[in-house]
C-alpha cells in the first residue's frame, strides 16, 4: 500500500498546540498513522465529494480530515 502525504493546516497546528500534551501526542500519532492507512477502522465517511472527509473519535475529541486525490 502506498504512503500518503500528510499536510496539517496552520489552524489545525495552532489548535494542536493549545491541547494538553498527552492529548496532542495521541492525536499526532493518529495523524501520522494516516499516511499508511487513511481509512482506519472506526472512521466514518461524512460526505462523498472530490475530497472525502472522514471522522475518527479519539479520547473525548472528534477529528475530521480530508483525502485528496490527484
Domain that holds residue 61: 10-67
Contact 33, 14 (CB under 8 A): no
28 phi and psi angles, rounded to 5 deg: -65, -40
* pLDDT at 1 (0 to 100): 59
* pLDDT at 10 (0 to 100): 93
- What lies within 8 Å, CB to CB, of 5 at 6+ separation is 35
Number of domains forming the structure of the chain:
1
- Residue 4 located in a structural domain: no
* pLDDT at 55 (0 to 100): 67
The predicted model scores a pTM of 0.72
Q: For residue 23, what is the DSSP state?
A: H
Reduce the secondary structure of 37-65 to three states and give it as a string: CCCCCCCEEEECCCCEEEEEEECCEEEEE
- Residue 25 located in a structural domain: yes
pLDDT tens for each residue of the chain, 70 residues long:
578 889 999 999 999 999 889 888 888 988 898 899 888 887 877 776 555 556 676 666 777 888 877 6
Amino acid at each position: 500500500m502506498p504512503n500518503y502525504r500528510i499536510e496539517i493546516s496552520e489552524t489545525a497546528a495552532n489548535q494542536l498546540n493549545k491541547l494538553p500534551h498527552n492529548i496532542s501526542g495521541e492525536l499526532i500519532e493518529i495523524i501520522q498513522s494516516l499516511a499508511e492507512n487513511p481509512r482506519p477502522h472506526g472512521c466514518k465517511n461524512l460526505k462523498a465529494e472530490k475530497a472525502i472527509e472522514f471522522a475518527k473519535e479519539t479520547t473525548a475529541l472528534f477529528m475530521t480530515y480530508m483525502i485528496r486525490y490527484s
